[in-house]
Chain A
Amino acid sequence: MSQDSKKETGEKDAGCVDCGRRQAFVKMGVGSIAVACTGAAVFGYEFLGPNVLYEPSPIVNAGKPDGFPPGSVTQDQASLVYIVHGAEGIYAMSATCTHLGCITAWKPELGIVACPCHGSKFTRDGTKIEGPAPRPLPWLRAWISDEGDLLIDRSDFLAQKQYVRT
């Protein structure tokens, strides 16, 4: 083994005619394979992410705000949001638990929101009481449309608490 490598370096030292050209070809070969692999990786990444999704719209119509009397907590099972009419006004809150995405439920007899999967509990404004949930339930952007309906954007989490202007 060591003899072979000596021989090889010996040949190089002697200055073989084709060595430079061969190495250039090797570099071109490795380079084009690298380019092809990068292209395949980008292609694969782009292919795997769908560009058109046939998912329900994140914006839902909750109907007239009159349907939510003061002091009420309404859970919409279809859109998975709470519409709460608190002391300062109406707000919309996600019903999806911030722990692992289970759907929480409003417990009227206890006055709290509870998750059936891992036992997280929240107040009616989303603050965590106990359990593994890392964050409070997010408030969602909600507004009154020109037709007077309450619209909620489930993909738009509010950074600060904000009540619907009625």
Chain B
Amino acid sequence: MANSLAEQVANLRETRVWRSIFRSGSGATNLHRSLSIQQNVFLHLASVKIRKRSLAFRFTWLLGTLSFGTFLILTLTGVPLMLYYHPSVPQAYADMKDLQFVVSAGVFLRNLHRWSAHAMVLLVFAHLFKVFYRGAYRTPREFNWVVGVVLLLLTLFLSYTGYLLPWDQLAFWAITVGSNLISAVPVMGAQIRFLVLGGHTVNANALLRFYVLHCVILPLLAAIFVAVHFWRIRKDGGIYTGESVRHE
């Protein structure tokens, strides 16, 4: 009865239920520690072992981690916002105002979502600049750099599609101007714009399409590319710490 908390946790980890979920077992040996990473579906993307040196702040400034952190915040705040928002012309603006003034904690979630979105664009750019100026994009990391550029584009598209959803004058004209940029694409510009907006003007179809892109298609793509991005860090030999490139 007088067991300490640590002992109780240790006992819990020996139970049959725990062991059926986490098979690596308890223990402080290198093998156990490696197994606990390798046998976890989320953690197995990362290395089971890294050099302590690669954790130094100066190599990364944690910019990639912070970008992913904002992505998680945006996912966690975005889903509850969806419960009060209807992507329809008569209701979108009123729903946004309700979130600000009527819904409990609505203004907190909305502002957290909004500020995190701004922060994510900033952090992703900072991350790419940091990687670029350190030369960390070079062989063997060139493919992960390309994945990173795709993630930058996805971040910008997420930011752009989210911009329309409040359905105020700022959103409407920003998307009008932005979608007219698409028209500058040679030959098929006007047709691409028509398909993106689902019409000739920014209207009900455009609002619904941007909503689906913002809440389903783009986050799913981003999650897939993030998984590949993290996995490639391990496959490319971990965080770039400035050693000379190996030639084989």
**Set B180, B199, B201: member contacting A100, Cβ < 8 A:** B180
Residues of B200-234 contacting chain A, CB below 8 A:
200-201, 203-205
Tell me whether A43 is interfacial, beta carbon within 8 Å. Answer: no
Which A residues are in CB contact (< 8 Å) with B201?
A: 55
Q: In the bound complex, how far is the Cα of B177 from the Cα of A101, in angstroms? A: 6
Most chain A CB atoms below 10 A, which of B180, B181, B195, B205: B180
User: Is A53 in contact with B200, judged by CB distance below 8 angstroms?
Assistant: yes
Which chain A positions have C-beta within 8 A of B100?
Answer: none
User: Of all chain A residues, which has the CB nearest B181?
Assistant: A100
Bound CA–CA A32/B41 (angstroms): 36
Taking CB atoms, residues of chain A closer than 8 Å to B199 are: 50, 53, 55
B177 touches A100 (CB 8 A): yes
Contact B180–A101 (Cβ < 8 Å): yes
Q: Are A102 and B195 in contact (CB under 8 A)?
A: no
* Chain B neighbourhood of A50, CB < 8 A: 198-199, 205
How many Å lie between the Cα of A99 and that of B184 in the bound state?
10
Q: Does chain B have a CB within 8 A of A17? A: no
- Decide yes or no whether B176 CB sits under 8 A from chain A: yes
Q: How far is the CB of B197 from chain A (nearest CB, A)?
A: 10
Chain A residues bordering chain B, tally (CB within 8 A): 12
B101 on the A face (CB < 8 A)? no
Interface contact A49-B194, CB-CB below 8 Å: yes
Interface SS, A side: loop
Flag whether B173 is at the interface (Cβ < 8 A): yes
Please give the distance in Å from B211's CB to the nearest CB on chain A: 15
Contact with A along B230-245 (1 / 0, CB 8 A): 0000000000000000
B173 x A102 contact (CB < 8 A): yes
Of A48, A53, A117, the residue contacting B195 (CB under 8 A) is A48
For residue A54, which residues in chain B have a CB less than 8 angstroms away from its CB?
203-204
Q: Are B200 and A102 in contact (CB under 8 A)?
A: no
- Residue among A48, A55, A100, A117 making CB contact with B200, cutoff 8 Å: A55
**Distance in Å from the Cβ of A50 to the closest Cβ of chain B?**
5
CB-contacts of B84-104 with A (<8 A): none
Residues of A within 8 Å of B179, CB to CB, are 101
Contacts of A143-157 to chain B: CB distance below 8 A: none
| CB-CB nearest in chain B for A49 | B195
- Residues of chain A within 8 A of B205, CB atoms compared: 50, 53
A117 to B194, CA, bound (A): 22
Residue of A nearest to B178 (CB): A100
Residues of chain A within 8 A (CB-CB) of B180 are: 99-101
Per-residue CB contact flags for chain B residues 45-70 toward chain A (1 = under 8 Å, else 0) read 00000000000000000000000000
Q: List 7 A-B contacts (CB under 8 A).
A: A48-B195, A49-B195, A50-B198, A53-B199, A55-B200, A100-B176, A101-B179
B residues lining the A interface (CB < 8 Å): 173, 176-177, 179-181, 194-195, 198-201, 203-205
**17 other contacts beyond A53-B205, A54-B203, with CB at 8 A cut-off?**
A48-B198, A49-B194, A49-B195, A50-B205, A55-B199, A99-B180, A100-B176, A100-B180, A100-B181, A101-B176, A101-B177, A101-B179, A101-B180, A102-B176, A102-B177, A117-B173, A117-B177
Q: What are the 8 A-B residue pairs with the smallest beta carbon separation, nearest first? A: A101-B180, A100-B177, A100-B180, A48-B195, A101-B176, A53-B199, A50-B198, A55-B199
